[in-house]
Amino acid sequence: MIRIHSSTRRDYLMLMGGLLAGLLLLPSVDAAESATWDIPLAGNAFITKPEVGSKDGVPREGAMRLESPKSVVSVYVHLNKPGRLEMALRLTVPEGTSTLRVQAAGQSFTVEAPAGASRVAPAGHVELAAPGYVRVDLVGLKKSGPIFADVESLVVTSPTKDLKASFVANNQGNMFYWGRRGPSVHLSYELPTDKDLEYAYSELTVPEGWDPVGSYFMANGFREGYFGIQVNSTTERRILFSVWSPFKTDNPKDIPAEARVELLAKGEGVHVGEFGNEGSGGQSYLVHPWRAGVTYRFLTSVKPDGKGSTIYAAWFGEVGKTDWRLIARFRRPQTDTHLKGFHSFLENFNPAQGWLGRRGEHGNVWVGDVTGAWHEVTRARLTGDGTASGGHRLDYAGGAEGGHFFLRNGGFFNERVDLGQSFDRRATPRDRPRIDAAKLP
């Protein structure tokens, strides 16, 4: 989302007053020709160098408290063209006097801030040589009070004509939370339209170094659920398979008995329960140390039971090995369907990790019909969630490379790929899945 507004008279006078007083030897900017962006830290900042035990943090709303001298707080904003940026901090120092450092585009500035009410403290200016994301780092240097400052926003003013800034401007619709999570991107696969499809098969590789905490790489999505792998912590990873209830609610306790997803079977070590907050239904997961750099295979079946319900099952394995692991089999009531809406997606579910990059490679994608024939899927369409389509975050991409599709998000990179495009991967007919359904666990 792009939000441009003129400087308020009070903020402009404070900023220019600081410049004229000799705090910064910079030429003044004509307010009539400049644009100003007030970039709230609550939706655009991350602690990129944390101190264990630090009380620093980025809130859902309001100012960010900077207390530890070992913390680095990084603010990100995307600019559409090169230009000049005058930077300042909107902050409050509750007690004492503080000194902060502001770093951007290879330059470093010192901000002096005495105690008192919220003020705009000037920092300095940078000249950007290229369009794209700009990272501005804030570090506490000195303080005579208990904290360095409560920093509300980074204030950026520029005289550059037609300069546009993209960032999370406000918290409407809980956008600070979604914006810090980052954009989610999806691949919608082009499927045969004249077949009743029962199986979805795909292979997924997460390249080494592209699997930070909070990542969910969804391999086999379908109209009523999803199946993939995620990074829950530095010590735990999971294989996750979920099926939504036909009853629409974010609270699983509201689902009436006749609309509950029923567990029919689960694999060894698999945990089964309910989920909510994004629709509700049955959830299963296996704690499993999957590894970046290794290619895994995913098989999902969707089959009507002939009694007004549909059976969903998911199996997981490693490419190059013959064994399959059953994750779970669920019955979804009030549903009579074969496989519909086969897709993959990539998301981050940890807002604190939204500044880190993720990438998944989806290859050897197939669907199997009710006669046992397999059909290769070589075309997919790229779409994104509201964070991407609304322009709040622009660090997303997807496409095809050789024999696989890929999805990428996070990390504030500049090689964005426009949504709505379709991509074709190279066919791999020799890699058709050889699956004996009767021998699946």
pLDDT in tens, 93-120: 999 999 999 999 999 999 999 999 899 9
Statement: residue 346 has pLDDT above 80: yes
Q: Tokens in use for 88?
A: 């300042």
Provide the pLDDT for residue 52: 58
Look over the chain and give the mean of its residue pLDDT values, rounded to a whole number: 90
Give the lowest-confidence range in 6-10, 77-81, 188-192, 212-216: 6-10
Provide the pLDDT for residue 6: 34
Statement: residue 426 has pLDDT above 50: yes
State pTM to two decimals: 0.89
Mean pLDDT over 231-243 rounds to 97
Overall CATH class of domain 187-439? mainly beta
Provide the pLDDT for residue 406: 98
Provide the pLDDT for residue 436: 92
Provide the pLDDT for residue 124: 95
Statement: residue 9 has pLDDT above 80: no
Q: How far apart are CA 83 and CA 102, in angstroms?
A: 18
Provide the pLDDT for residue 4: 32
Domain ranges of the chain: 9-179, 187-439
Provide the pLDDT for residue 435: 94
9-179 and 187-439, same CATH topology: yes
Provide the pLDDT for residue 5: 35
Provide the pLDDT for residue 47: 93
Which band of pLDDT confidence, cut at 50, 70 and 90, is reported for residue 280? confident
Statement: residue 141 has pLDDT above 70: yes
Q: How far apart are CA 153 and CA 70, in angstroms?
A: 20
Classify burial at 436, counting beta carbons within 10 Å of its beta carbon; exposed 0-12, middle 13-18, buried 19 or more.
exposed
Statement: residue 275 has pLDDT above 90: no
We find that the CATH architecture of domain 9-179 is: Sandwich (2.60)
Provide the pLDDT for residue 60: 67
Greatest Cα pair distance, the chain, in angstroms, is 82
Provide the pLDDT for residue 19: 34
Place of tokens 């077949």: 195
Mean pLDDT over 243-249 rounds to 92
CA Rg value for the chain: 25
Q: Which residues contact 16 (CB under 8 A, 6 or more apart)?
A: 28, 29
**Residue 306 corresponds to which amino acid?**
G
Provide the pLDDT for residue 127: 96
Higher pLDDT, 52 or 338: 338
